[in-house]
Amino acid sequence: MDITRLEKADRYSDAVIYNGVVYLSGAVGRESADTESQTREALAEIDRVLALAGTDKSRILSATVWLTDIADYDAMNRAWDAWVDKQNPPARATGQVPLARKKYRVEITVSAAVPAHPPAPG
């Protein structure tokens, strides 16, 4: 089976597809935004990369949400709850960890099923 890497850089790819599953790198929002806004922006980036892979949020299998401060859990969930596919919610874990930059308040990564014959991006 082939491995497909989307939006490759020297250090990482935004997504890797293998065996019918796409694995996304962590998505973040603008450093100047509050937690709820950063979450909305990260989720929009997830939507964009899932579309490049030929899938969407209804096919997300698993999500991991990292917060720099667990006190931001409710703010993150306001954005998450407005975005998540209520008919197909993924397995999800949330934890508190230091992120790569101090102004990042949230980072989200997901894995999703890719249809056997995904539509062409565009």
pLDDT value at position 58? 98
Domains and CATH numbers, the chain: 4-113 (3.30.1330.40)
Sequence-ordered list of residues with C-beta below 8 angstroms from that of 112, at least 6 positions apart, any chain: 21, 22, 24, 50, 53, 55, 56, 57, 59, 60, 61
Q: What average pLDDT does this structure show over 43-68?
A: 98
pLDDT value at position 75? 97
DSSP-assigned beta bridge partners for residue 18: 21
What is the reported pTM?
0.92
Closest C-alpha to 107, from 26, 45, 34: 26
pLDDT value at position 119? 53
Q: What are the tens digits of pLDDT across the range 10-40?
A: 999 999 999 999 999 999 999 888 999 999 9
* Summary mean pLDDT of the chain: 94
pLDDT value at position 71? 98
pLDDT value at position 122? 45
Q: What are the tens digits of pLDDT across the range 77-97?
A: 999 999 999 999 999 999 999
Q: What average pLDDT does this structure show over 42-52?
A: 97
